[in-house]
Structure 1
Amino acid sequence: MSTEPAGGADAADRSNYCYRHPDRQSFVLCQRCGRTICPECMTQGAVGVICPECMREQRASAPRTKPAVLTRARSAAGRGAPVVTYTLIGITLAVYLLQLIPGLGVTNWLYFTPLAMSDIALQPWRLFTTMFVHSTSLIFHVLLNMYTLWIFGQLLEGLLGRWRFLALYLLSGLAGSVGVIWLADPNTSVVGASGAIFGLMGAFLVIQRRLGGQTTQLFILLGINLVIGFVPGFNIAWQAHLGGLIGGAVIGLIFVETRKRSQQALQTWLLIAFGVVLLLLSCRYLVFPLA
């Protein structure tokens, strides 16, 4: 991804670069002073992130004794570690282990089917929970998804910031479920984080292209994964892949086009509006009941 200095840009563009590292582009603002900071300069605060100068002021008046676990977690966050990515991976793997325990029925409670958004059995939580469960008959399903999440999570969480990245992941997963509702048979059952992960790739593709980065390899990777979804016998929900990809691309476009400091409120409202649109689209079988 291009990170050219903003020497030739106007004042608005300069605000998109870290005030301590002028060659590093970022969309993250210090919650106290409002200046742009890169992952290396940010420290996770109670709400949002804080730049080094504001952090020093805060620590000067903070208590000196803290629990060791909390100190280590905050230290990792302060170093710019992708804690949201690690948390999503940890939750998914923990759920997978619970799926393996006979009698719990975790998969039955969390998988998604379009029927869950119909008058037959309204269970809207499945729109989101499906991205945390995977096939227990093929361990490579969860391992491959988590490996891909680890790769793109580190890239995007550092660039977008933790809360934007979490919104991207969850809304992309929701878009994947919407894709299943509109493109698959109503009796289809799906599990997996693939919709959310395709959303990460879609967002990364849009951001790369809009900022002048190379996208050839990503196009090839996306093409291969999309084609695999149509291969007979693989039993892959390509509908979730396509829905997540489109949803992630839309969110990536929102992030790129509203990255200026003065557009932060607009960005939030656009994300909320897109989430509402996805929820409305998920009501297909409530508006038009199955026969």
Structure 2
Amino acid sequence: MAIVNRTPDSFYDRGATFALRAAVAAGIAAREAGADIVDVGGVPFAPGPPVPVADEIARVVPVVCELAPVVAVSVDTFRPEVARAAIEAGASVINDTTGFRDPGMAAVVAESEATVVIAHSLAAPRTEHPQPRYGDVVAEVGAFLAERREWALGCGIPPERIILDPGHDLNKTTRHSLELTRRLGELTGLGAPLLVALSNKDFVGETLDRDRGDRLAGSLAAAVFCVLQGARIVRAHNVRETVDALRMVEGILGWRDPAFERHNTRPEGNA
């Protein structure tokens, strides 16, 4: 899952894809680099001033319209109104980083054919949650995701259209995110595929003492580890590098044939 932020204040690209043409070009480039899904966001998760619903719709819907004919499009939003407009424009996935904080989101997804990503977080949208505390972060995240999945099923969303995200860095410290990564396999029995959003996040930077633009190696290591623990979707900024890393994992595990085979395959005696 590639990331395209149509925001002026995203934590990673700092507005590089805020312009419509830049956002569309980034989505097409991500598809060409091997992304299966392009996740379009119009409002960052991080605390900040409110963005009117109409403005968020104006940011994401034109990108969805352009990209939906060529790649599966996800929209990162916590607002039912934005989700409805995005689905009508062609989005096939709604990525709710607030875990159905607004219960109207489930109804919008249920009445459509869209898939939903339910992520774990604690705070109300775009608000701070300083010094989050957990007794057992993996157990508490797992319980939250299990409850939200059951609630979604009760709202009419079929199980095959639910994806779960433990929410690395979302209202969590670096140690919390590292523990979630280390014990991710404990969440694979929740009845839905796991998505991990690790790319260039602060837990990578703080673990390695690396600035925002120098976290690719750490992000790839975390992504590979999570796939080996059972993650099945990886949300990433650096698409080509992430695709190569994960295709290599698939090749090692026997899930993917090599692109070609030449090494030591020539008949004996031929130059």
Under a length normalisation based on structure 2, what TM-score does the superposition of the two structures give? 0.30
- Which structure would you say has the larger Rg? 1
- Greater fraction helix: 1
